[in-house]
Amino acid sequence: MKHSTATVLALLAVVAQYPSHAAPADPKVIIIGAGMSGISAGNRLSEAGITDFVILEATDRMGGRIHKTEFAGVNVEMGANWVEGVNGDEMNPIWNMANGTGGLNLRTFRSDFNHLSSNTYKQDGGLYDKKCVEKVIKRMDEVEESGSKLSGTLHHSGQQDMSVMSMQRLTSQMPDGPSTPVDMVVDYYQHDFQFAEPPRVTSLQNTQPLPTFNDFGDDVYFVADQRGYESVVHHVAEQYLKTDPESGAIVDPRLKLNTVVREIAYSPIGVVVRTEDDKVYRADYVIVSASLGVLQTDLIRFEPQLPSWKSMSIYKFNMAVYTKIFLKFPKRFWPEGPGTEFFLYASGRRGYYPVWQQLEKQYPGSNVLLVTITDDESRRIEQQSDEQTMEEAMEVLRKMFPEKDVPEATEILVPRWWSNRFFKGTFSNWPIGVSRYEFDLIRAPVGTVYFTGEHTSEKYNGYVHGAYLAGIDSANILINCAKKNMCTYNVKGKHD
Ligand SMILES: Cc1cc2nc3c(=O)[nH]c(=O)nc-3n(C[C@H](O)[C@H](O)[C@H](O)COP(=O)(O)OP(=O)(O)OC[C@H]3O[C@@H](n4cnc5c(N)ncnc54)[C@H](O)[C@@H]3O)c2cc1C
Ligand SMILES: *[C@@H]1O[C@H](CO)[C@@H](O)[C@H](O)[C@H]1NC(C)=O
């Protein structure tokens, strides 16, 4: 059929009223969550020519667990802070964006953990002898090494998996695991500071060796840029979402902030998504990027309920909690200069204000300390007042530096990721008792419902690069179905 010129002009007029970035009434895909993985999935769909989607985000911002905030006159990171896995055989895709040519050129600092033996404080003050801590670190490193070897010999079904702590008992003749304050804080630094859960919980087979460092390198770079680490999410978003030419802000109507999804009704012919303010969105497919912690709650109701193979895999994996407490002081009283950035507090209570970082290099003149706590201590601290937490931290600092005049902190920042119903923790950790097969089920689609997020990353769960790559992978699974009609997704069988 041939259109007359008048019809074509009329059509053009209609098209002009709905510029290509208008939100489609019935999009093909609904993406839930505008964190790194959801934004990455949208980018991959766009590349494949699927542009009729909406992104529904519960909070008032894009970025999710990558979140800068103003503290002590500078922007600090409440969530992810490091690009982890740099200077290895493969290029970490996040490092490529953060530092690479044509990238963001973010202000970053390679973290140097080589001086901990000179910076480990006793429970009641003063430093441990350097040689003594060196010995502890050396022994623990040897244990780790034999742990990695042992891990490689375990049957790939996962049936022989054990906790990292079991491995420590096996290989180091420490029947109780590390139990003196100095052993415990070094152990904490080596494990909890990375995985946010203790070695008693963490799977040996699935964390040693760790693909992140094996593939991308052992170095980690601390991001301290006033644009925030979240600018990497923005960087991906602006590849396909409309931005305001002046402010650079995302103004694409397909991104809907302050939109809390409460129900996903799904069937072979499509999905109906309901939000807290009773709006209804329909599409052919939905991609859920909400954190593992959120999936373990009833914030999002699935109709029908997810099959038990799916919910089992979700409930068996762990959402860990990692809390970065920032403190500002009127003056500095801690050692400064090369080799002083990180220091440890060896309490008899494992995990009590254990790992400290002075940020003079990153934020000169700001007089800010960062202390990291995890797991049960995090949950405890989230439930008490910030004043109480400040008191505890001050007591620890005064114990560490008995000879110094330690002034009261003037400001404190205590992020509460665990209490927040849109996160319910900070990142996933692989516990004993979950095989590779069961982990892969977390990623597997259920009919028209697809899953993404750091907890679905094939090799890098827990990390920003894991979230980014998972977004691409999950979008690819959906693209195979939508464009090539390849809709069956096979997870390797339990005993394959
Ligand atoms: C304190 C902390 C420290 C970390 N440190 C590092 C680090 O140094 N290096 C590193 O690589 N990684 C680190 N991580 C992990 C990293 O931040 C995450 O792996 C990654 O950002 C997760 O991205 P995501 O897209 O999977 O999830 P998210 O960022 O959680 O994105 C999911 C989005 O879904 C939204 N959402 C949830 N529920 C709903 C709903 N019902 N309806 C609509 N939207 C919803 C959320 O608001 C969120 O924006 C850290 C994380 C935290 C919190
Ligand atoms: C980061 O980028 C700079 C400038 O391009 C380069 O000189 C440097 O080697 C890069 N760093 C790493 C660790 O790749």
Asked which of 56-60, 214-218, 474-478, 490-494 is least confident by mean pLDDT, the reply is: 490-494
Q: Is 85 helix (H, G, I), strand (E, B) or coil?
A: strand
Each residue's pLDDT tens digit, 273-297:
999 999 999 999 999 999 999 999 9
Calculate the average pLDDT of the chain.
94
pLDDT at 10 over 60: no
Task: State how beta strands 29-32 and 53-56 pair.
Answer: parallel
Per-residue confidence (pLDDT) for residue 175, from 0 to 100? 76
C-beta separation of 84 from 463 below 8 A: yes
* Nearest-angstrom CA–CA distance, 104 and 234: 10
pLDDT at 6 over 70: no
Cα(362) to centroid of ligand 1, in Å?
23
Global pTM value: 0.95
* Nearest-angstrom CA–CA distance, 216 and 85: 5
Per-residue confidence (pLDDT) for residue 9, from 0 to 100? 44
Q: Is 314 helix (H, G, I), strand (E, B) or coil?
A: helix
Sequence-distant (≥ 6) Cβ neighbours of residue 234 within 8 angstroms: 62, 63, 248, 250
Query: Left (φ > 0), alpha (ψ -120 to 50) or beta: where does 424 sit?
Result: left
Cα(360) to centroid of ligand 2, in Å?
22
Average pLDDT for 15-24: 47
Note whether residue 75 is domain-resident.
no
Catalytic residue annotation: 84
Residue 236, phi then psi, degrees to nearest 5: -70, -40
Cα(245) to centroid of ligand 2, in Å?
29
Note whether residue 362 is domain-resident.
yes
> Residue 96: CB within 6 Å of ligand 2?
no
Per-residue confidence (pLDDT) for residue 494, from 0 to 100? 66
| pLDDT bracket for residue 492 (50, 70, 90) | confident
Each residue's pLDDT tens digit, 382-414:
999 999 999 999 999 999 999 999 999 999 999
| pLDDT bracket for residue 100 (50, 70, 90) | confident
Give yes or no: residues 244 and 300 share one domain.
yes
Per-residue confidence (pLDDT) for residue 227, from 0 to 100? 97
Per-residue confidence (pLDDT) for residue 102, from 0 to 100? 74
C-beta separation of 330 from 318 below 8 A: no
* Nearest-angstrom CA–CA distance, 412 and 392: 12
Give yes or no: residues 278 and 342 share one domain.
no
Give yes or no: residues 330 and 286 share one domain.
no
Give yes or no: residues 201 and 349 share one domain.
yes
Per-residue confidence (pLDDT) for residue 14, from 0 to 100? 41
Amino acid at 349: R
| pLDDT bracket for residue 26 (50, 70, 90) | confident
* Percent of the chain surpassing pLDDT 90: 90
C-beta separation of 181 from 346 below 8 A: yes
Q: Is 477 helix (H, G, I), strand (E, B) or coil?
A: helix
Each residue's pLDDT tens digit, 150-168:
999 999 889 999 999 999 9
Among protein residues, the one whose CA lies closest to atom 2 of ligand 2: 99
Note whether residue 494 is domain-resident.
no
Q: What tokens does 95 get?
A: 């490092």
Per-residue confidence (pLDDT) for residue 488, from 0 to 100? 87
Note whether residue 492 is domain-resident.
no
Look at the alpha carbons of 446, 434, 292, 226 in this order and tell me if their dihedral is positive or negative: negative
Query: Within 10 A of 464 (CB to CB), how many other CB atoms are there?
Result: 30
Per-residue confidence (pLDDT) for residue 489, from 0 to 100? 87
* Nearest-angstrom CA–CA distance, 361 and 87: 21
Strand partners, 355: 344, 372
Task: State how beta strands 285-288 and 29-32 pair.
Answer: parallel
* Nearest-angstrom CA–CA distance, 398 and 390: 12
* Nearest-angstrom CA–CA distance, 455 and 460: 8
Residue among 85, 88, 40 at smallest CA distance from 66: 40
CATH number, position 409: 3.90.660.10
Note whether residue 70 is domain-resident.
no
Look at the alpha carbons of 334, 340, 341, 345 in this order and tell me if their dihedral is positive or negative: negative
Helix (H) and strand (E) counts in the chain: 15, 22
The rounded Cα 20 to chain-centroid distance in angstroms is: 33
Count structural domains, the chain: 2
Residue 216, phi then psi, degrees to nearest 5: -100, -10
Q: Is 148 helix (H, G, I), strand (E, B) or coil?
A: helix
Which ligand 2 atom sits closest to the C-alpha of 219? 13
Per-residue confidence (pLDDT) for residue 287, from 0 to 100? 98
Range of the domain at 324: 82-222+319-418
Per-residue confidence (pLDDT) for residue 24, from 0 to 100? 61
Give yes or no: residues 54 and 99 share one domain.
no
Q: What tokens does 8 get?
A: 């074509």
pLDDT at 269 over 70: yes
| pLDDT bracket for residue 213 (50, 70, 90) | very high
Average pLDDT for 146-152: 95
> Residue 40: CB within 6 Å of ligand 2?
no
Q: DSSP characters for 365-377?
A: TS-EEEEEEEHHH
Per-residue confidence (pLDDT) for residue 299, from 0 to 100? 98
Give yes or no: residues 93 and 192 share one domain.
yes
Give yes or no: residues 120 and 155 share one domain.
yes
Which ligand 2 atom sits closest to the C-alpha of 86? 13
Q: Which residues line ligand 1 (CB under 6 A)?
A: 32-38, 56-59, 64-66, 79-82, 84, 260-261, 289-291, 294, 299-300, 322, 324, 417, 422-423, 426-427, 453-454, 462-464, 466-467
CATH number, position 53: 3.50.50.60
| pLDDT bracket for residue 440 (50, 70, 90) | very high
Asked which of 9-13, 129-133, 171-175, 352-356 is least confident by mean pLDDT, the reply is: 9-13
Helix H or strand E encompassing 303: strand 301-303
Per-residue confidence (pLDDT) for residue 11, from 0 to 100? 43
Note whether residue 34 is domain-resident.
yes
pLDDT at 7 over 60: no
Give yes or no: residues 161 and 269 share one domain.
no
C-beta separation of 409 from 329 below 8 A: yes
Per-residue confidence (pLDDT) for residue 2, from 0 to 100? 43
Cα(272) to centroid of ligand 1, in Å?
24
Per-residue confidence (pLDDT) for residue 23, from 0 to 100? 59
Note whether residue 74 is domain-resident.
no
| Mutation choice for ligand 2 from 82, 99, 107, CB with most ligand atoms inside 8 A | 99
Among protein residues, the one whose CA lies closest to atom 52 of ligand 1: 79
Per-residue confidence (pLDDT) for residue 101, from 0 to 100? 74
Give yes or no: residues 53 and 90 share one domain.
no
* Nearest-angstrom CA–CA distance, 264 and 466: 25
- How many Å from the N-terminal Cα to the C-terminal Cα in the chain? 56
pLDDT at 8 over 90: no
Give yes or no: residues 338 and 251 share one domain.
no
Asked which of 156-160, 190-194, 266-270 is least confident by mean pLDDT, the reply is: 156-160
